[in-house]
């Protein structure tokens, strides 16, 4: 039976289903101003927080880190910043034990995108603060986006620098459209969403500066620091790539925040994450 005769034959509900199936894919609704959505992409329970300061303040103390992903909606497109631990972990209810403690994903990135009316195919740009596994978990869900990648970071990741980098988790960079960058980068060309070069944690680490209409300047830290106290007291994890660069990057971001009266969001700081609007609400 041909499709037209099937449509003639079919009842109303099938016709409706068939016509929506045949309709072109709906692009995401347009937005007028820049919006920041914070998504819960996992929790990391750490047995001994000593690994987050080389000056001893956390020795022997446990802690919990948030592991968010962010969606930035702009009139000209959509940027996903960091992609969390990976939705695969959500298949193990309650999470998994790892050497440093325990990790869990209670809400998948894909479900949270759906909650705000988006599909992976709607995403225009994908970028990462750095290539550690807890920031690249769902990267391969976005093969159609343009991947904005720091050259130094990628070269380092390709050198197989150790257990924190799982290059297979973001292997689609080899086939996706890429925009390779060296330093600061204005994503939409109007200064409202700017990647900032903040090396130290890894060689090509970067943070993200947003200029929002109501909320003002907001900087997403990446892993420039892992806790708010680390920013305040300039504490550096012993496993960072370069201590001096980390301190210089903290100085840079601190000065930008002073100059712009901006707000810092320390991505792994649970209180900072909880201070952001809960989906489907956003900051604008």
Residue ranges binding Zn ion (CB under 5 A): 134, 223
Q: How far is the CB of 130 from Zn ion (least distance, A)?
A: 8
Report the residue number, 136 or 146, with the smaller CB distance to Zn ion. 136
Helix or strand or coil: residue 150?
strand
Q: Which residues pair with 35 in a beta bridge?
A: 73
Tell which residue, 123, 124, 104, 114, has the closest CA to residue 41: 104
Least spacing, CB of residue 268 vs Zn ion, in Å = 6
Place of tokens 């601190």: 254
Angle of CA points 244, 250, 232, to nearest 5°: 115
- Which residue has tokens 């904005």? 148
Residue tagged 């403690």 (tokens): 101
Tell me how far, at minimum, the Cβ of 132 lies from Zn ion, in Å.
5
- In whole angstroms, how close is the CB of 63 to Zn ion at the nearest point? 13
Nearest CB to Zn ion, comparing residues 223 and 269: 223
Give whichever of 124 and 202 is closer to Zn ion, judged by the CB atom: 202
Q: How far is the CB of 13 from Zn ion (least distance, A)?
A: 48
The residue among 74 and 130 lying less far from Zn ion, judged by its C-beta, is 130
Taking the least distance from each CB to Zn ion, the nearer of 71 and 224 is 224
DSSP string of 199-221? -SSSTT-EEEEEEETTTEEEEE-
Minimum CB distance to Zn ion smaller for 84 or for 120 = 84
Tokens of 128: 């990462």
Q: Which own/partner pairs from 115-118 qualify as long-range (CB within 8 Å, at least 24 positions apart)?
A: 115/279, 115/280, 116/37, 116/71, 116/279, 116/280, 116/282, 117/28, 117/29, 118/28, 118/71, 118/78
Structure tokens at 85: 């631990």
Instruction: Tell how far CA 117 is from the center of its chain.
Output: 18
Q: How far is the CB of 195 from Zn ion (least distance, A)?
A: 17
Q: How far is the CB of 134 from Zn ion (least distance, A)?
A: 4
Which CB, 134 or 272, lies closer to Zn ion? 134
């Amino acid at each position: 039976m041909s499709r037209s005769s099937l449509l003639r034959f079919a009842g109303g509900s099938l016709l409706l289903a068939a016509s929506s199936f045949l309709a072109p894919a709906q692009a995401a609704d347009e937005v007028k101003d820049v919006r920041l959505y914070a998504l819960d992409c996992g929790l990391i329970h750490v047995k001994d927080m000593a690994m987050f300061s080389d000056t001893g303040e956390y020795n022997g103390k446990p802690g919990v880190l948030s592991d968010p992903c962010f969606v930035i909606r702009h009139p000209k497109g959509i940027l996903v910043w960091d992609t969390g631990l990976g939705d695969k972990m959500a298949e193990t209810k309650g999470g998994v034990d790892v050497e440093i403690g325990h990790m869990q994903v209670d809400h998948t990135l894909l479900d949270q995108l759906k909650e705000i009316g988006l599909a992976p195919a709607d995403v225009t740009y994908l970028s990462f603060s750095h290539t550690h596994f807890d920031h690249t978990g769902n990267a391969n869900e976005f093969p159609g986006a343009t991947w904005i990648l720091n050259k130094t970071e990628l070269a380092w990741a390709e050198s197989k620098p150790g257990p924190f980098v799982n290059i297979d988790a973001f292997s689609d960079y080899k086939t996706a459209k890429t925009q390779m960058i060296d330093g600061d980068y204005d994503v939409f060309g109007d200064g409202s969403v700017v990647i900032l070069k903040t090396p130290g944690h890894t060689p090509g680490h970067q943070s993200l500066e947003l200029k929002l209409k109501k909320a003002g300047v907001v900087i997403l830290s990446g892993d420039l620091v892992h806790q708010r106290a680390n920013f305040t007291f300039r504490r550096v994890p012993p496993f960072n790539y370069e201590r001096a660069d980390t301190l210089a990057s903290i100085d840079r971001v601190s000065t930008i925040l002073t100059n712009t009266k901006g707000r810092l969001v320390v991505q792994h700081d649970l209180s900072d994450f909880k201070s952001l609007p809960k989906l489907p609400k956003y900051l604008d």
